[in-house]
A = this chain, B = another copy of it.
Amino acid sequence: MHGLIGSMSAAPGRRDDLIAILTAAVSNMPGCLSYIVAKDTKDANTIWITEIWDSQASHDASLSLAAVKKAIAAATPMIAGFGDQVVTTPVGGYGLPAAKPR
């Protein structure tokens, strides 16, 4: 499995709009097991995104999906910056989603 943990900073006042675009775009990405959007509780502009994919190739391929490209274009003007992104290998725990049928 391939995991990503990262943050982005919304332009002031645009966090909810940015979240709406992100959450609407991610429901049908092949190989995506989980894509969770969360608000930072300390910073009013920061969003955290945690992702689990069956492989890095599936993640990379998602960037070419029409719905994702459209979402990126819509979201870009609302993004003030990105934090560091961590690449992980999820290995277990509770609530790890099963792979989606392809």
Contact = CB atoms under 8 A, between A and B. Distances in A.
A96 interface: yes
Main secondary structure of the interface of A (DSSP, over half): strand
A72 to B, nearest CB: 16
Size category, A interface: 35 or more
A91 B42 contact: no
Interface string A51-90: 0100000000000000000000000000000000011111
Interface string A3-45: 1010100000000000100110011010011111111111000
Interface of A: 3, 5, 7, 19, 22-23, 26-27, 29, 32-42, 48-50, 52, 86-97
